[in-house]
Chain A
């Protein structure tokens, strides 16, 4: 069975197949969760709290999530394009989802190195 991420708070529960989660972006004290169906759901959790949930629920899974700086968590399976000079990161499933994100040059350099290393593994 697919691994799901479950975010439960108050009267609401959000359940997403882990491989359908493309990225999570910080929105002040809240976080936007973006899935491959191009839907964005705002949750009343800070990005660090979402990271803690992923950390806890995906501890024993074959994990593909990365925290990039203070404003992004991405699923590395959907990294489509990195342009360090333009500080641009494109997350896409090469079908119908295409999101242009911005991150610092330093973190994009590290992401590029991380993905290059993963090829060699």
Chain B
């Protein structure tokens, strides 16, 4: 997300123009004190064990190595900084394309998280073909206007602009296979998508830079969102009817960086292929298809 050579968290402060170093508060200093004390104890323990193992003739060579290795490992883990883990299966080394589903509950809201693996995203008009074995996930993307059944908000498909509206500030662009999710009244990514044969659509913003975005709509419904969490893109769906606020708050609590809404409600359509290549339909109550019904689709493929 960020190109700076110094990464930063939302709770960090850094002085610009001087050597980069996060400011330490009293709380941090206390934490460091404990860390230093813990490290000192570990070093002393290492020294003691090393000394006693050297002097204990009864301990065999193998035992000595195992004992020391164990201590070194625990020492290393104590100083390795915490790395935010991805939600999806990171151990999957196969090139198989599928969608991983994770069920979780946040703030008493049951959520399903869908993570497409080894797949690239694009937009398409009309319902995707369920017999197309290359599709691993699809869900309705931009809304359709009630008055003329056309797409709400700016919309670009493979470089071709189909709609230009700005009624919703959330946006998603797919340019050179890179998905960008954000919130802005005007986004140059719309033009870039037209220049680079990319894709662009608008929706309600839910989370902007890890901060909840309030929307006027207050009713409760099944909610879907397209999310970016530390660069990992996935879809989240509520399994109960929720307000925009509660759903967005759950996404913030899931550590999502940016999220926009996807067409939700009981009539929202979509389906995915699981790891066994079985089709799982996400549509609760399907209505007739509209001409400009549009989807975000993940197809098998390798990201650049």
Q: Pick 30 A–B contacts, CB within 8 A, sort by A.
A: A27-B182, A28-B181, A28-B189, A29-B189, A30-B184, A42-B188, A46-B1, A46-B3, A47-B4, A52-B5, A54-B17, A61-B17, A63-B17, A63-B18, A66-B13, A66-B14, A66-B15, A66-B16, A67-B8, A69-B11, A70-B2, A70-B9, A70-B209, A102-B211, A104-B11, A106-B10, A107-B13, A109-B25, A113-B23, A113-B26
Q: With a 10 A CB-CB cut-off, give which of B5, B10, B181, B188 has the most chain A CB atoms.
A: B10
Chain B interface mostly helix, strand, loop or mixed? loop
Q: How many residues does chain B have at the interface if contact means C-beta atoms less than 8 Å apart?
A: 36
Contact B12 A65 (CB under 8 A): no
A44 at the interface (CB under 8 A from B): yes
Which residues from B are CB-within-8-Å of A7? Answer: none
B243 at the interface (CB under 8 A from A): no
CB distance from B9 to the nearest CB of A (A): 7
Binary contact track B174-187/A, C-beta < 8 Å → 1, others 0 = 00000011111011
Which residues from B are CB-within-8-Å of A73? Answer: 16
Contact B3 A113 (CB under 8 A): no
Q: How many residues does chain A have at the interface if contact means C-beta atoms less than 8 Å apart?
A: 36
Which residues of chain A from 21 to 41 have a CB within 8 Å of any chain B CB? 26-30
Contact A69 B17 (CB under 8 A): no
Pick the contact of B16: A42, A51, A106, A111 (CB < 8 A): A51
Closest B residue, CB atoms, query A63: B17
Beyond A28-B258, A42-B186, A63-B15: 16 further Cβ-contacts under 8 Å?
Answer: A28-B180, A30-B188, A42-B188, A44-B188, A46-B2, A46-B3, A54-B17, A66-B15, A67-B13, A67-B14, A69-B11, A70-B10, A71-B209, A73-B16, A111-B13, A113-B26
CB distance from A7 to the nearest CB of B (A): 14
Contact B16 A114 (CB under 8 A): no
A68 at the interface (CB under 8 A from B): yes
A59 at the interface (CB under 8 A from B): yes
Which residues from B are CB-within-8-Å of A71? Answer: 10, 209-211
Which residues from B are CB-within-8-Å of A109? Answer: 25
CB distance from A5 to the nearest CB of B (A): 11
Contact B2 A48 (CB under 8 A): yes
Given the known interface contacts A28-B187, A48-B3, A48-B4, the answer about A107 and B12 at a Cβ–Cβ threshold of 8 Å is yes
* Complex: A51 Cα to B171 Cα, angstroms: 25
* Complex: A71 Cα to B207 Cα, angstroms: 13
CB distance from B180 to the nearest CB of A (A): 6
CB distance from A86 to the nearest CB of B (A): 13
Given the known interface contacts A28-B187, A109-B25, A113-B23, the answer about A49 and B10 at a Cβ–Cβ threshold of 8 Å is no
Contact A49 B13 (CB under 8 A): no
* Complex: A104 Cα to B210 Cα, angstroms: 10
* Complex: A30 Cα to B208 Cα, angstroms: 13
